[in-house]
């Protein structure tokens, strides 16, 4: 099945780099996620989902073994692989524009606004999958549920004044 999310919903996907590497957890259900390519729904990845509230959905994903063989094969590279590196290499190969000197390296942490009832099952699920990725939960304000902050590792310092960029972002998004 394809995943459909509303613009106000937040999700956190964790990945594995080995076949059948996801932990076996009673509180989670494994299901196949598909992606449309040339009018066909291709098996994309298996998802093991947390049973959380509407503020945040979390899942552990294992790419389908022959996804790369069937999705954008003209891009070349490995045709079989489930590692994040192999899949991201394919995504980069098919992008119409890629920055010559990208600034962002990787996501290093998240802050998520969720009520205790919404976050407790997700926090437990993150412990169950033995993730060391830092996800900080905070109390939501009025209508402010979901991902509130994303922290990145940078490859280089930004060329422009970061404080003025943050101020413009805060004014536009009311944060």
Q: What is the pLDDT of residues 46-61, one digit of tens each?
A: 888 887 677 788 888 8
Residue 121 to residue 73: CA distance in whole angstroms:
39
Count of all residues that appear for the chain in the document: 175
Q: Read off the DSSP letter of residue 65.
A: T
Residue scoring higher pLDDT (72 or 27): 72
| Sequence spans of domains, the chain | 11-94, 105-173
Q: Read off the DSSP letter of residue 81.
A: -
What average pLDDT does range 115-137 have in this prediction? 89
pTM exceeding the 0.75 threshold for the entire prediction: no
Closest CA to 50 of 111, 149, 118, 110: 118
Does 6 have pLDDT greater than 70? no
Closest CA to 141 of 109, 114, 167: 114
Confidence of residue 1 (pLDDT cuts 50, 70, 90): very low
pLDDT in tens, 129-175: 888 899 999 998 877 888 999 999 999 887 766 666 666 666 665 55
Q: Read off the DSSP letter of residue 169.
A: H
Decide if 29 contacts 49 (C-beta within 8 A).
yes
Residue 8, both tokens: 């106000």
Mean pLDDT of the chain: 80
Mean pLDDT comparison of 3-7, 66-70, 107-111, 142-146, highest-scoring range: 107-111
Give the three-state DSSP class for 159: coil
pLDDT in tens, 70-100: 888 887 776 677 788 888 888 888 888 878 8
Give the three-state DSSP class for 112: strand
Return the pLDDT at 83.
82
Residue 83 to residue 18: CA distance in whole angstroms:
7
* Alpha-carbon distance values, 27 to 23, 30, 46, 125 (Å): 11, 10, 16, 8
């Amino acid at each position: 099945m394809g995943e459909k999310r509303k613009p106000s919903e937040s999700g956190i996907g964790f990945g594995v780099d080995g076949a059948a590497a996801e932990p076996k957890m009673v509180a989670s259900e494994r299901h196949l996620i598909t992606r449309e390519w040339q009018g066909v729904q291709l098996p994309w990845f298996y998802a093991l989902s947390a049973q959380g509230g509407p503020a945040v959905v979390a899942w552990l994903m294992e790419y389908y073994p022959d996804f790369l063989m069937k999705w954008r094969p003209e891009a070349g590279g490995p045709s079989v692989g489930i590692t994040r590196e192999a899949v991201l290499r394919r995504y980069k190969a098919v992008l119409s524009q890629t920055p010559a000197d990208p600034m962002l390296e990787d996501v290093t942490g998240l802050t998520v606004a969720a009520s205790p009832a919404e976050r407790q099952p997700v926090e437990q699920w993150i412990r169950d999958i033995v993730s060391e990725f830092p996800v900080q939960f905070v109390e939501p304000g009025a209508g402010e549920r979901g991902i509130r902050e994303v922290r990145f590792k940078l490859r280089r310092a930004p060329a422009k004044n970061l404080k003025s960029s943050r101020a413009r972002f805060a004014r536009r998004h009311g944060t």
